[in-house]
Structure 1
């Protein structure tokens, strides 16, 4: 078992101290009564999922408390795996890669969403147990976002509970019409049961001009113009990552030397800012891990500027900061034993410094613990899959879609 974190040791110390301070000979029963199941549960729900599963080893009572299905809607859940798609015969096919090697926790095709209405559904984003889909009444290619509200609607669902909601039509973008390629989901069950969907608008020059924001609290869309002086162009397949009330995307500054940046916007669309990031000649990936935004990039071989030699993991420790800190490095050849393949990061574990990679042109998913420089496991993926986008899935068992129009 890996070494305990300082936070875990501190919590165990406090619990033991509390037991000892109130216990005298013959008063063990009274001490045990102070730490009821409800009180222990209140302590456990404040832990990250990784620590929670370690605490199953404290006692049989704690193990049963954590494993009780009645408590699943309160306790944090571990990463179950990644959703990804293949596109064949003008249809999206949905797949799930389990990080534990077990079966998918739900049918990735979500049949209850499209029995009669939708001809096709595309995975767009995932955030803390909720999934965002583009549900279409006609078949569209993954790169075709020139659709109208008569063709497609956004759908948000919770596959763990089967609840879902179709979003109302979005107001048409202001003139001159540009593109609406990027959309993201923002949801934090620890803060609120409500969610936001942000759809970014771009001018014909590809720079961001504004954002349309859907709030489940109001049930309506609103529009906000981009208020930054600098122009930002988003990468076409960038992931949206939600951390501490802010949505982050990857892009570059076309008016400079195409410097790479993170674009950050709050849920009201009033606060916009950019954060400079290390330049990535190859892949780059952002993700939420341990409550902070993380950024992974490739480093290249000194003798071969197209061959990836290692991975760098950077961290934005403070949401108010505009500076990333280098956290971990890893050598490709040391953990794969294969220097002839290029790899790219497709995900970052939400609870630890573990990254997920796929070889370029390959069909396996490699799991690597950067802290201990160990390969966790290798998973087989579907061939001919659209591996540009992998969406992390963490189960959410609470009924978070109060206004869902699904069952």
Structure 2
């Protein structure tokens, strides 16, 4: 039985019925102790869990009790991003309401600067620099990767990155974090290496289980050049990135790599331009694309959302198409997608050249929260879902 079905069954069997006798309701509720209810709720998706806060006042108090957070799945709290006005600064845009759950700088004393790299299931990947240099002047010798869990304050500094195998493999712009707490407390960091032609030549992989880096060459025939604005998305044990094939008139693809670096695949996607975004939602990779009707890249008229349910079949299925003509017409802005909600078909977008974050429910075609952002914000927004876990594999305990 699927997790969502379990939740629906639990709700039907425990939610008070309007036509039931008060005594019957009390007897039925007494069958489940708080510990039993928590155990059941901990196995449900976050979306179902937060819907069940409406079942009753005791259930609401049980779910919202801070002491139970470590046992229950969490919803999207907000987005990490950076601004570059008089230096680079870290920020957190909360979509759940209230103040930021942590200081987004997370800067250990030994580092002069920290750069946000990736986020995955409650863990954050930073690149720290020990010298007082601008990010574009950082060298490999000056930097170390840091993985942290801001909900618990634990973090681990990764060992120095291995040197490229050959001089031609010296470029490395993209790195990603892979972590699934439902499978293991261990994580992987993948750093992709590129040749002078910008095509991917291999990947360096850090495993928290071994505490060491390993290297794998690319094991597929196609040459793939990574998109400049891509970020890594981990779903179903595979890390995905956006790129294109120089050999086929720059057809856009997803590059998929497993955690051992042994399986490499390319998956064709609709024409991406600069307004496409990938994300992990409801357990699957999703691909969102803002497009225009007259193909002039001036006015975005609709957003399409695809889902990749099976990496082996390499087939993206169109899931939603939503018109935003009315919305963009009212605000006189052209929007680009910057994130996808992990639990539902809601996309997050920002206006090109603007400073607001807008949630758009594609299923009901409704505009949700609108948040003001800092000026001169970065192109990259990292979704953050809290993970109230006591341990982080290989954590320094700081």
Residue 150 of structure 2 is aligned to residue 154 of structure 1 = no
Tell me what 2:174 maps to: 182
Alignment partner of 1:118 out of 111, 122, 133 = 111
Tell me what 1:210 maps to: 202
Alignment partner of 2:99 out of 88, 100, 103 = 103
Counterparts of residues 33-112 of structure 1 (less than 5 Å)? 34-89=31-86, 91-110=87-106
Q: 1:66: Cα distance to partner?
A: 1.2
Q: 1:47: Cα distance to partner?
A: 1.6
Q: Which TM-score applies when normalising by structure 1?
A: 0.90
Q: How far apart in 1 are the matches of 2:349 and 2:26?
A: 51
Which sections of structure 1, spanning at least 5 residues, go unmatched? 17-25
Alignment partner of 2:129 out of 129, 136, 146 = 136
Tell me what 2:347 maps to: 355
Q: 1:331: Cα distance to partner?
A: 1.7
Q: How far apart in 2 are the matches of 1:318 and 1:36?
A: 39
Q: How far apart in 2 are the matches of 1:203 and 1:59?
A: 59
User: Once the two structures are superposed, what CA deviation does each residue of 1:17-69 show, in whole Å capped at 9, x if it has no partner?
Assistant: xxxxxxxxx99888656523232222211222121011012123322221222
Q: 1:399: Cα distance to partner?
A: 2.0
For the 8 Å contact 1:333–1:339, the answer to whether it is kept is no
Q: How far apart in 2 are the matches of 1:400 and 1:334?
A: 47
Alignment partner of 1:252 out of 234, 244, 248 = 244
Q: Return 278-287 or 243-252, whichever deviates more.
A: 278-287
Q: How far apart in 2 are the matches of 1:402 and 1:6?
A: 32
For the 8 Å contact 2:275–2:291, the answer to whether it is kept is no
SS at match of 1:307: coil
Q: How far apart in 1 are the matches of 2:228 and 2:24?
A: 64
Q: 1:58 to 1:154 in 2, by over 3 A?
A: same
Q: Which TM-score applies when normalising by structure 2?
A: 0.92
Q: How far apart in 2 are the matches of 1:269 and 1:48?
A: 30
Q: 1:378: Cα distance to partner?
A: 1.2
For the 8 Å contact 1:164–1:401, the answer to whether it is kept is yes
Q: 1:334: Cα distance to partner?
A: 2.2
Q: How far apart in 1 are the matches of 2:281 and 2:257?
A: 19
User: Once the two structures are superposed, what CA deviation does each residue of 1:293-341 show, in whole Å capped at 9, x if it has no partner?
Assistant: 1001122132744322111111112233201011111222223433742
Q: How far apart in 1 are the matches of 2:309 and 2:380?
A: 25
For the 8 Å contact 2:83–2:376, the answer to whether it is kept is yes
Q: How far apart in 1 are the matches of 2:302 and 2:39?
A: 41
Q: 1:252: Cα distance to partner?
A: 0.3
Which sections of structure 2, spanning at least 5 residues, go unmatched? 16-22
Q: 1:43 to 1:370 in 2, by over 3 A?
A: same
The two structures, once aligned, show a CA RMSD in angstroms of 2.4
For the 8 Å contact 1:80–1:98, the answer to whether it is kept is yes
User: Once the two structures are superposed, what CA deviation does each residue of 1:110-142 show, in whole Å capped at 9, x if it has no partner?
Assistant: 2xx322x11101000001111100000124444
User: Once the two structures are superposed, what CA deviation does each residue of 1:204-223 show, in whole Å capped at 9, x if it has no partner?
Assistant: 11111111111111111111
Q: How far apart in 1 are the matches of 2:179 and 2:370?
A: 30
Q: How many residue pairs were aligned?
A: 390
Q: 1:402: Cα distance to partner?
A: 3.9
Tell me what 1:9 maps to: 8
Q: How far apart in 1 are the matches of 2:24 and 2:363?
A: 43
Q: 1:28 to 1:60 in 2, by over 3 A?
A: closer
For the 8 Å contact 2:205–2:213, the answer to whether it is kept is yes
Q: How far apart in 2 are the matches of 1:308 and 1:155?
A: 38
Q: How far apart in 2 are the matches of 1:371 and 1:332?
A: 13
Alignment partner of 1:168 out of 141, 155, 159 = 159
Alignment partner of 2:392 out of 392, 401, 404 = 401
Q: 1:152 to 1:304 in 2, by over 3 A?
A: closer
For the 8 Å contact 1:335–1:373, the answer to whether it is kept is no
Q: 1:14: Cα distance to partner?
A: 5.7
